[in-house]
Amino acid sequence: MAERSFKAEVEDLRLGAGETFTGEGILALTKALLENGVGYVGGYQGAPISHLMDVLADAQDLLGELGVRFEANANEAAAAAMLAASVHYPIRGAVTFKGSVGVNVASDALANLSSSGVTGGALVIVGEDYGEGSSIMQERTHAFAMKSQFWLLDPRPNLPSIVQAVSDGFELSEVSNTPVMLMVRIRSCHVTGSFQTRDNQRPSLSVKDALSNPRSDFARVVLPPMSFAHEQDKVKNRWPAAEKFIRERGLNEVFGPKSDFGIVVQGGMYNTLIRSLQRLGLADIYGDSNVPIYVLNVTYPLISAEFLEFCAGKDHVLVIEEGQPEFIETQLGSFLYRAESSVKLHGKGLFPLAGEYTGQVMLDAVSGFLKTAAPGLLAAVVRAPNVDRPAIPDLSKTVPIRPPGFCTGCPERPIFAAMKLVEKELGKHQIAADIGCHLFASLPPFEIGGATMGYGLGPAANAAFDGGGARRPVAIIGDGGFWHNGLSSSFTNMAFNKSDGVAIVVDNFYSAATGGQDVMSSRADNATKATRNPISKALNGIGIDWVRQIDHTYDVKKMRDTIREALTTDAPGPKVIVASSECMLNKQRREKPLRAAAIKQGRRVDVPRFGIDEAVCTGDHACIRLSGCPSLSLKKLDDPLRDDPVASIDQSCVGCGNCGEVSDAAVLCPSFYRADVVHNPSGFERRLAGFRAYVIGWLQRRRDAKRLVFGDVA
């Protein structure tokens, strides 16, 4: 079950000619694929295009009706390899994954695809995970386009431009026999708007039809001498064909009047630029501007002649290029130099070298540029402000960081609590982690695991330590990472090298961090996917025999004992613990509606809740340090003899029981209690509760009568 269901929105994908589609950027992309006769689609989920995969998965009926093949690929490498169908066959294909990490994973296939060249349009929709809201290292996908020579589209963030980019992308790919990458930034994925729809098109040749008429051509195979011919073909034919198409079809856009200055902007940064020009009084909300703007909806390749035309008669040009290194600025500088131009190019310097171009960054840099290039356009208050803006204090000094952490009730929390307990006995260990929710354990309060090398690479990241030593290395990996790449890159690597290390597979039944998609070992029935394949079976299959399966991670004592055993056993070879319990976020999404319906129907429902007896809690907060559950917080008592705040559990508790288990296993404290909230109780239960309340009330009144009361002191 994915994070969001798009079943309702998917109906809009059926809209025909002349109708209006309204919705999110990623949905518009899907509709555009169908309008352009795509023959097959695939991909791997990841922020910010997880929902695009979810939309496609929810749209499988419609895709089937149109004869479009859909795959939820095992990883990005598999997704990119799927585009091989467009090498020999005139079939349009599209895959989606995130950049830059998904592109890293896919890079082998992308490079081979770019060398072979394509016959049918091949589109890679990349969700560029850069800037605020990103979950990964800050890099650019752009470098991959340059190194493998595929074309990179970066359309303006509005629905008509995004939809147009799909259609242009397919055509550009076909005329230049080159795969095209359509980049959508976080904000483009989620921008909402409308566009006029066209009828969906069935592919002119379906992948099913192609199987009846197989084709091959050894000239496309990436082996010498053909690979040398591919390189020549890239520079002599494909590149010029692409440039011609981009120019003739006007893929890049020029706005505004002619002037002695201008701005060059990546399509994806256009909205932010217009907003800052608006704030300077130089544009309206429709983008009508007094400033000449050259919009690069295609950021690779750049076209010298087109750029030089824009620069004609100008003294100053600003390049707006987010991220580093500044590939575009360097290339444009080289165009000007080769043309012996005297235009002064501005860019980095006015803009910071690194980090997202937020509204304020853009406003500062654009006003800085205009002060030099066109001061007359600026209001006096901008040119020479009388009052300095109050300095914003360095918040990093005063506001604590708010790193991501486990959800309330997360089944991974007890695994790390158990590890902390084992480390208390055996000492600190070398720990490597992977990609996924479990990586939050490397942050406070657990601080377990110091490095992540990539998706599926957790145990591989311990390879240097796998030969044995005073203490065994420990690697953590999720079930998502296990199936993405971990089985081959990490576990086969361990088995092959007779690793002495320990690996813990945190199995929460979903690819949870990417939005709760199913994986091979998911426990759900999925009509179109093979699920219920145990991870332990796969491990046995590659010859790893020391495997312990734990089916209830909340059993902290059992987790602790199993981890201790793995770290101390004499058994040779890899030691793997598969720790399985359902992701609480997905469990709640699944169970809450069922529970609400049952309560509404008047059926009896028990809902567990945990609490802390404040008379027993001493306020040492060891439970909070060992748990980090967001529902555990502090409560100040009125009692003046107790100044330390006690621990308290708030309403977000889902009753997982982890806090009590941890306290018990760590022999911490007896103050945790469980109370079941009973909905629609039976008559007997009601009478019993009434009787209990009466007895408890009587006891409480008796105790209160003997209590010392601290009244207000006059």
Q: Does 46 bind ligand 3IO (CB under 6 A)?
A: yes
Strands (E), 321-377: 344-351
Could you give phi then psi for residue 283, rounded to 5 degrees? Answer: -155, 155
Instruction: Look at phi and psi of residue 243 and say left if phi exceeds 0, alpha if psi is from -120 to 50, else beta.
Output: alpha
Between strands 431-433 and 451-452, the pairing is parallel
128 neighbors 99 (Cβ within 8 angstroms): yes
The residue from 31, 98, 156, 420 that contacts ligand 3IO (CB under 6 A) is: 98
The residue from 42, 102, 655, 657 that contacts ligand 3IO (CB under 6 A) is: 102
The residue from 59, 105, 487, 550 that contacts ligand 3IO (CB under 6 A) is: 105
Q: Does 101 bind ligand 3IO (CB under 6 A)?
A: yes
Which two three-digit tokens encode residue 331? 């290339």
Q: Does 455 bind ligand 3IO (CB under 6 A)?
A: yes
Site string for ligand 3IO, 611-630 (x = CB under 6 A): --------------------
Which run of H or E residues covers position 580? strand 575-580
Neighbours of 389 (CB within 10 A): 6
Q: Where does residue 584 rank: exposed (0-12), middle (13-18), buried (19+ CB within 10 A)?
A: buried
Q: Does 230 bind ligand 3IO (CB under 6 A)?
A: no
The residue from 39, 454, 459, 657 that contacts ligand 3IO (CB under 6 A) is: 454
627 neighbors 418 (Cβ within 8 angstroms): no
Which residue's CB is nearer to ligand 3IO, number 79 or number 654?
Answer: 79
Q: Does 583 bind ligand 3IO (CB under 6 A)?
A: no
Number of residues engaging ligand 3IO in binding (CB under 6 A): 14
Which residue's CB is nearer to ligand 3IO, number 126 or number 567?
Answer: 126
- How far apart are CB 436 and ligand 3IO at their closest, in Å? 7
Q: Does 117 bind ligand 3IO (CB under 6 A)?
A: no
The residue from 126, 180, 363, 435 that contacts ligand 3IO (CB under 6 A) is: 435
The residue from 15, 55, 62, 136 that contacts ligand 3IO (CB under 6 A) is: 136
- How far apart are CB 6 and ligand 3IO at their closest, in Å? 17
Which residue's CB is nearer to ligand 3IO, number 487 or number 629?
Answer: 487
Which two three-digit tokens encode residue 203? 């592919």
The residue from 5, 60, 107, 135 that contacts ligand 3IO (CB under 6 A) is: 135
542 neighbors 550 (Cβ within 8 angstroms): no
- How far apart are CB 56 and ligand 3IO at their closest, in Å? 16
Q: How far apart are CA 313 and CA 299, in angstroms?
A: 23
Stretch that binds ligand 3IO, among 77-85, 99-107, 461-469, 695-703 (CB under 6 A): 99-107
Stretch that binds ligand 3IO, among 6-14, 101-109, 252-260, 532-540 (CB under 6 A): 101-109
Reply yes or no: is the peptide bond before residue 444 cis, omega within 30 of 0: no
| Helix, strand, coil abundance in the chain, percent, nearest 5 | 40, 15, 40
Which run of H or E residues covers position 382? helix 380-383
Stretch that binds ligand 3IO, among 43-51, 361-369, 402-410, 671-679 (CB under 6 A): 43-51
Stretch that binds ligand 3IO, among 42-50, 332-340, 376-384, 553-561 (CB under 6 A): 42-50
Which two three-digit tokens encode residue 628? 């980090």
Q: How far apart are CA 178 and CA 174, in angstroms?
A: 7
- How far apart are CB 162 and ligand 3IO at their closest, in Å? 21
Q: How many residues does the chain have?
A: 714
Q: Does 47 bind ligand 3IO (CB under 6 A)?
A: yes
| Beta-bridge partners for 263 | 293, 318
Angle between helix axes 159-176 and 25-35 (nearest 10 degrees) is 40
Site string for ligand 3IO, 504-543 (x = CB under 6 A): ---------xx-----------------------------
Which residue's CB is nearer to ligand 3IO, number 86 or number 514?
Answer: 514
Stretch that binds ligand 3IO, among 100-108, 290-298, 560-568, 569-577 (CB under 6 A): 100-108
Residue whose C-beta lies closest to ligand 3IO:
46
Three-class HEC string of 268-333:
HHHHHHHHHHHHCCCECCCCCECCCEEEECEEECCCHHHHHHHHCCCCEEEEECCCCCCHHHHHHH
- How far apart are CB 43 and ligand 3IO at their closest, in Å? 10
Stretch that binds ligand 3IO, among 41-49, 167-175, 330-338, 699-707 (CB under 6 A): 41-49
Q: How far apart are CA 367 and CA 354, in angstroms?
A: 19
- How far apart are CB 463 and ligand 3IO at their closest, in Å? 18
- How far apart are CB 142 and ligand 3IO at their closest, in Å? 18
Could you give phi then psi for residue 91, rounded to 5 degrees? Answer: -120, 135
Q: Does 73 bind ligand 3IO (CB under 6 A)?
A: no
The span from the first CA to the last CA of the chain, in angstroms, equals 62
Which run of H or E residues covers position 193? strand 192-196
Q: Which residue is it, tokens 């929709």?
A: 125
Q: How far apart are CA 394 and CA 446, in angstroms?
A: 28
Which residue's CB is nearer to ligand 3IO, number 99 or number 120?
Answer: 99
Q: Does 478 bind ligand 3IO (CB under 6 A)?
A: no
Contact residues for ligand 3IO, defined by CB under 6 A: 44, 46-47, 98, 101-102, 105, 135-136, 435, 454-455, 513-514
